[in-house]
Structure 1
């Protein structure tokens, strides 16, 4: 019992430090690692080594993948590729199902682009479609936000799911994580869209001049990017790497469906996440627009590294925290205790949901929870490849439950959508609750079938 009380106290410290005292999650997690190490009685001369090895170990596996994915996202965002993606979806789906169209646009764009940035970029498109199709912009906002949110928490190469997969030992099998994540995210996005449809007749209730200025005309926004990339140029930097990663995973199935010859060797090499995303980075060079492409490329890389740095630090700190927990008896004790209660796959969801709701960041919830549950996977009956993948999905479901006032994405959605806080809680926050619970129900069903 003492082991659990110490764990609850450490988690409480992380929550209070990041919410009340506004401590950066990196420092909060490193501090938590030291506190846990002393509280659990680890030898004093091994604490620093355990923390540094945990920090470096996770970044050695997944750090470069996070950096490359972030740089690709920055290039796609700055080049207008997200605009091209949105236009491509509209051409395919037409105007018949406006909320479905917005959901699919968000679902695709948020794979390479952070959901906050994606919403800002696509806001004027959302407003334009709402006016043209005579649909409430509140419903369109929730549809777009929940579509963006779904892939943000479930599908690599978004940094949060990548970091969680790395913590759980899946860095060499991201293809399976992507495959399952795409499916779970689609169901979560559909749940969000169905909730959005309840607000088709609800008008924004926070309209003033400041909010009006946020809504730039979609045509003017497109023109501000100059010549937009083609659909092939826009989609290839993200979907070619995903294809290679998935093919690499298929090639390495125990049955070797593609044989063990030259095809296997090529796909095994190209399917490594680092190699696949490096190819995606090379493909993104075609999106550069300035006359001095070398200089522009350097600027985009610098911007990507700047964006990736906090995520890398949080991911490394989560690895350090996880290494400390692995060095204690907590994993076996907590695993056995929870197994006796039949919690199983719900345990990662509950922890991630508590962390997300308390401190606001989905990435912090994904990293911290994955580090926390990694030592106890065997006792929870999840110590298989598919068990680990479904654990990532359960953590992702928790990491979207719920987005409210302590989450920057909540304020992006509410302010750009001209929603009061009350309406945003009813529309957006409730939508994320429904998404998380729906996704977790699906993960539980998958665990009954696949485990």
Structure 2
């Protein structure tokens, strides 16, 4: 029992350090790893070796993937590709289903672009659509936010799911993680959209800080939004940097199946090489370079690479520290004891979901929740009956479902949605926070059903 109390104390330390003490999650996780090493009685000479091995082990491969994915996201964000994606979806779906339209836009845009940035980019477009379709700004805001949130927590190359997959030993099989993640994210996006529809015909005057007419008057028209970005990229240019790497990674995974469905020899070697996440994302980066315009493209590319590296740095540090924390837990005697206890309870996939949800609700960051929980449960997978390849993939999905449950006042995304849509805080709790609860539960239910079928 003492071993479990130490683990609970370490988790409480991480939460308190990041919330009350305002310590960066990197330092909180690193300190938790060091404290845990001493608390579990590891030889002092081995503690730093374990921490260093855990830190370097997770970043040795996944680190490059995180940086490349972030750089692609920055280029797409700056080029207006998100607006092109939105325009393409509107052209296909028309204006009959307003919340579905913005939910799909968010679902697609957040695969490479952080949900916070995606919401800021698409906010004016969302307001313009609300005015054109004469529907509630609140409903459209929640539908967009939940669409963005869905792929943010489930689908690589978003850093959180990539880090979780790396911690669980899936760095060579991201194609399967992407495939399952797209399905689970779609269910959660639809669940969020259905919750948003509850506000579709409500009076925005009672739900917003300012009159809806004033808010919509401040927003740019769709044409003005397009002009702000200059010449927008074509639909092919906008979508290719996202979907080409995903297609290559998935093809590489399929080609590696024992039955060799796509052939052997040279075909297998080529698809195996191109399907490696680093190579696939380099192809995506090359395609993203076609979005650069103007005379000084080299300088633009340099600046956006620098911005991408700066954006990726905190995620890399958190991911590495999470790996260090997980390595200490794996080396501790806790693993066997906790594994036997949890396997006796028979809660399986619900265990990582509950841990991730507790961390998310307590400290606010979905990425920190994904990294910390995956590092924590990795050593326990055999005892939980989740040590198969699909078991690990579904564990990433269960952690992702927990990492979206729930977004409230300690989450930056909550305030981005609230402030940009001018919702009252009370409205945001009823609309946005409740929507993320619905999404998390819907995601976990989907993962549980998939587990019944494939495990």
Q: TM-score, normalised by structure 1?
A: 0.98
Q: Is the deviation greater in 14-23 or in 214-223?
A: 214-223
Match of 1:205 among 203, 208, 227: 208
1:171 aligns with 2:171: yes
Paired residue secondary structure (1:125):
helix
Deviation at 1:256, TM superposition (A): 1.3
Unpaired stretches in structure 1, ≥5 consecutive residues: none
CA contact (8 A) 1:119 1:412 kept: yes
Deviation at 1:212, TM superposition (A): 7.0
Measured in 2, the distance between the counterparts of 1:449 and 1:402 equals 27
2:403 match: 399
Alignment of 1:152-301 (within 5 A): 152-202=152-202, 203=204, 204-207=207-210, 215-301=219-305
Deviation at 1:198, TM superposition (A): 0.1
Paired residue secondary structure (2:163):
helix
CA contact (8 A) 2:128 2:220 kept: no
Q: 1:368 to 1:214 in 2, by over 3 A?
A: farther
1:13 aligns with 2:4: no
Match of 1:304 among 282, 301, 308: 308
1:88 match: 88
Measured in 2, the distance between the counterparts of 1:22 and 1:216 equals 37
2:417 match: 413
Measured in 1, the distance between the counterparts of 2:219 and 2:356 equals 34
Match of 1:350 among 351, 354, 378: 354
CA contact (8 A) 1:403 1:432 kept: yes
RMSD over aligned Cα atoms: 1.2
CA contact (8 A) 2:139 2:200 kept: yes
Measured in 1, the distance between the counterparts of 2:333 and 2:215 equals 54
CA contact (8 A) 1:156 1:162 kept: yes
Measured in 1, the distance between the counterparts of 2:176 and 2:216 equals 44
1:425 match: 429
2:134 match: 134
CA contact (8 A) 2:18 2:28 kept: yes
Q: Deviations over 1:177-209 (max 9, x none)?
A: 000000000000000000000001231421179
Paired residue secondary structure (2:78):
helix
Measured in 2, the distance between the counterparts of 1:158 and 1:242 equals 12
Paired residue secondary structure (1:256):
coil
Deviation at 1:378, TM superposition (A): 0.2
CA contact (8 A) 2:15 2:359 kept: yes
1:46 aligns with 2:49: no
Q: Deviations over 1:315-366 (max 9, x none)?
A: 0000000010111121221111011111111000000000000000000000
Q: Number of aligned pairs?
A: 451
Measured in 1, the distance between the counterparts of 2:189 and 2:297 equals 37
CA contact (8 A) 1:215 1:416 kept: no
Q: 1:145 to 1:12 in 2, by over 3 A?
A: same
Unpaired stretches in structure 2, ≥5 consecutive residues: none
Measured in 1, the distance between the counterparts of 2:292 and 2:63 equals 25
Deviation at 1:259, TM superposition (A): 2.2
Deviation at 1:133, TM superposition (A): 0.8
Measured in 2, the distance between the counterparts of 1:271 and 1:207 equals 50
CA contact (8 A) 2:350 2:398 kept: yes
Deviation at 1:213, TM superposition (A): 8.5
Q: 1:214 to 1:319 in 2, by over 3 A?
A: farther
Deviation at 1:396, TM superposition (A): 0.1
1:441 match: 445
Q: 1:37 to 1:214 in 2, by over 3 A?
A: farther
Match of 2:392 among 384, 388, 393: 388
Measured in 1, the distance between the counterparts of 2:218 and 2:403 equals 28
2:120 match: 120
Q: 1:214 to 1:9 in 2, by over 3 A?
A: farther
Measured in 2, the distance between the counterparts of 1:278 and 1:267 equals 15
Match of 1:363 among 355, 364, 367: 367
CA contact (8 A) 2:184 2:397 kept: yes
Q: 1:345 to 1:205 in 2, by over 3 A?
A: same
CA contact (8 A) 1:214 1:416 kept: no
Measured in 1, the distance between the counterparts of 2:432 and 2:218 equals 19
Measured in 1, the distance between the counterparts of 2:289 and 2:127 equals 31
CA contact (8 A) 2:128 2:216 kept: no
Deviation at 1:214, TM superposition (A): 6.5
CA contact (8 A) 1:363 1:399 kept: yes
Q: Give the ranges of 4+ consecutive aligned residues of structure 1 lying more than 4 Å apart after TM superposition.
A: 208-214
Measured in 1, the distance between the counterparts of 2:282 and 2:125 equals 31
